[in-house]
Amino acid sequence: MQLSDLKKFNDRSKAQTKFKAIPRDTNRTLVGLGGPIDDAKFKAAGGGQSVEGTRAGLVGLGLIDLVSDSMDCAPFAMDTIHQTRWTLEGPITDLAIEKNFSAEIDLFANSKSVEGVSYVESTMPQNGELNTHMLACAIGFHLEPEPYSFTVQGNAVTKPIVATAKPPSPDVYTVADVFNGALGDAFAGPQPEQIIRPAVLEWGMWANYVAWHMVRAYNLRWAIGTKNNILDEVLRHTAYMPPSAQDGSSGNSQIDILAAVRRTNDYYGNRLATAMDFLKIDFLRLGALTVGGANIGDFRPSRAYELAGVTYGGGDLRHMLKGNSEFRKLKRPYIIGAGIPIGLRLDQVDDVQGDIMRDYLSATQGRQGNGVVPPAILDELNFTGPLVGANGVGVTPVMVEQSIDCPPTTCTNFFQQMFAERILFKMGDLKLSLLVQGRELDGDLYQFLLNNPGARDQLCTDCECSFAKV
């Protein structure tokens, strides 16, 4: 480098240093850092004397630019998010549904201990109230159902009180098989010690179905206090499903159900206090044998049902809500003071969709079940289970089955009947989140606007925002 080049470089460095030393906009910096609003400067700039003077005073303090810049920035750049998220580990009781998922769903106003909800996460120290003044610019309602779904057959048995040997769990069995002791003495006879019935475990599907019907059954309503009604429209227009590992597609595979079965039984036992466990299938029925003249089912061990076909991506709700974004910017942002109830909630507007949502949310399957956990589901409400005689033969219509341990010409014909009900277990997560996003406002700025109606109205007119008061 020559001497002349070095001199030019030094001159340029000095110019840059001089530029950096130029004082920043003092008013704007103080407002942003929490400095008090200077009423004298506001009045000196013409504030409070007339409409023109008020606007000139606000410009002189940099308030209009400050609010406008906050409103115009992208949602991801807004530094304040107030959020409440509910996590449901599985279906919930009818009492919990009546309290929290009926005509109104209010995530913000509920406490951090909500009946039926496993986890409540909230940024609000007081229910439904902000702890700081805020310029609310965007809202969001997020749905996060279980990311994969599968359904598997099994059996429901009475939950043991003490450690005991696991009973057999066949793919198929008849009333006579149970009555005559083919599945163990505990299930045999007219007054068995334990109960076993065919069952189904639905993983994830119920959560996706609840979410699908919820966004169509409810309106998202935002009312601050009793006078400010910000919006009231179908939740479908705002609801958003965050992307998962299978964004935009579904994949099919197999999954072992061992951990899922254990998690189901732990949840149903600890949170729903049910008297039944779900068992995976570990025996296959081959037919019926003649043992001492009695009809005894013939079973063989099998591990064929330990894997289940699984669909990743759930119901692909994200594409059913296509066009919605993570945060929805408000057409008219609101300045909300600390301690003022936000009033953002869901109001039911479609009873049909709401009732279906509650059926699938319920651990009793609502109107389809029999009011117990887990429910016994019948093909028809008025169908009844088999009425078993003293010999284990159903007295209602039965089918004939030939024994498999004799020549065809001498085989015994057994009268067989299947259990009419199916016990329904449901499991999988469902997360619901309600969010308000924007910029935090300094307390002095909020008090200045609260105490100067003219400045407040002019600021809201210029920036096209509103000031929320109870």
What is the distance between the alpha carbons of residues 319 and 250, in angstroms, rounded to a whole number?
Answer: 11
Residue 17: its pLDDT value, please?
39
φ/ψ of residue 152, rounded to 5:
-140, 145
pLDDT for 109-140, tens place per residue?
Answer: 877 789 999 999 988 877 778 888 888 889 99
Confidence category of residue 20, pLDDT binned at 50, 70, 90: very low
pLDDT for 310-331, tens place per residue?
Answer: 887 666 666 666 667 888 888 8
- Whether the per-residue pLDDT at 49 is higher than 70: the answer is no
Q: Is 400 helix (H, G, I), strand (E, B) or coil?
A: strand
CA neighbor of 377 nearest in space, from 156, 73, 63, 118: 156
Give the residue, 273 or 402, on which the prediction is more confident: 273
Residues contacting residue 15 through CB under 8 Å, at least 6 positions apart: none
Residue 7: its pLDDT value, please?
52
Beta bridge partners of 198: 155
- Whether the per-residue pLDDT at 415 is higher than 70: the answer is yes
Residue 163: its pLDDT value, please?
87
Give the residue, 465 or 315, on which the prediction is more confident: 465
Residue 113: its pLDDT value, please?
83
What is the distance between the alpha carbons of residues 172 and 299, in angstroms, rounded to a whole number?
Answer: 9
Residue 380: its pLDDT value, please?
86
Alpha-carbon torsion angle 118, 122, 125, 128, nearest 10: -100
What is the distance between the alpha carbons of residues 351 and 338, in angstroms, rounded to a whole number?
Answer: 35
Q: What's the token pair of residue 91?
A: 């279906």
Q: What is the DSSP string of 222-285?
A: EEETTTEEEEEEEGGGTEE----TTTT--EEEEEE-HHHHHHHHHHHHHTS--SEEEEE--EEE
- Whether the per-residue pLDDT at 216 is higher than 90: the answer is yes
What is the distance between the alpha carbons of residues 153 and 170, in angstroms, rounded to a whole number?
Answer: 10
φ/ψ of residue 406, rounded to 5:
-155, 160
Which burial class, exposed, middle or buried, applies to 84 when counting CB atoms under 10 A from its CB (0-12, 13-18, 19+)?
buried
- Contact (Cβ atoms closer than 8 angstroms) between residue 390 and residue 274: no
Confidence category of residue 27, pLDDT binned at 50, 70, 90: very low
Q: Is 288 helix (H, G, I), strand (E, B) or coil?
A: strand
Q: Is 2 helix (H, G, I), strand (E, B) or coil?
A: coil
Confidence category of residue 32, pLDDT binned at 50, 70, 90: very low
Which burial class, exposed, middle or buried, applies to 343 when counting CB atoms under 10 A from its CB (0-12, 13-18, 19+)?
buried
Q: What's the token pair of residue 175?
A: 């009333």
Which burial class, exposed, middle or buried, applies to 123 when counting CB atoms under 10 A from its CB (0-12, 13-18, 19+)?
middle
Residue 331: its pLDDT value, please?
85
- Whether the per-residue pLDDT at 284 is higher than 70: the answer is yes
Residue 388 per-residue DSSP state: B
Residue 339: its pLDDT value, please?
83
- Whether the per-residue pLDDT at 9 is higher than 90: the answer is no
pLDDT for 168-195, tens place per residue?
Answer: 999 999 998 999 999 999 999 888 999 9
- Whether the per-residue pLDDT at 407 is higher than 60: the answer is yes
What is the distance between the alpha carbons of residues 116 and 99, in angstroms, rounded to a whole number?
Answer: 9
Q: What's the token pair of residue 151?
A: 């359904």
- Amino acid identity, residue 22? I
Give the residue, 229 or 427, on which the prediction is more confident: 427
- Contact (Cβ atoms closer than 8 angstroms) between residue 373 and residue 415: no
What is the distance between the alpha carbons of residues 262 and 279, in angstroms, rounded to a whole number?
Answer: 9
Domain range annotation of the chain? 148-206+247-313+357-427
pLDDT for 352-377, tens place per residue?
Answer: 999 999 999 999 999 998 899 999 99
**Picking from 4-8, 136-140, 198-202, 328-332, which range would have the lowest pLDDT averaged per residue?**
4-8
Give the residue, 22 or 79, on which the prediction is more confident: 79
- The number of residues making up the chain comes to 470
Residue 209: its pLDDT value, please?
92
What is the distance between the alpha carbons of residues 132 and 370, in angstroms, rounded to a whole number?
Answer: 48
Residue 351: its pLDDT value, please?
96
- Whether the per-residue pLDDT at 2 is higher than 60: the answer is no
What is the distance between the alpha carbons of residues 285 and 417, in angstroms, rounded to a whole number?
Answer: 14
- Amino acid identity, residue 52? E
Omega of the bond leading into 375 within 30 degrees of 0 (cis)? no
Q: What's the token pair of residue 169?
A: 């769990």
Mean pLDDT, residues 416-434: 93
- Whether the per-residue pLDDT at 274 is higher than 70: the answer is yes
Residue 18: its pLDDT value, please?
39
Residue 315: its pLDDT value, please?
60
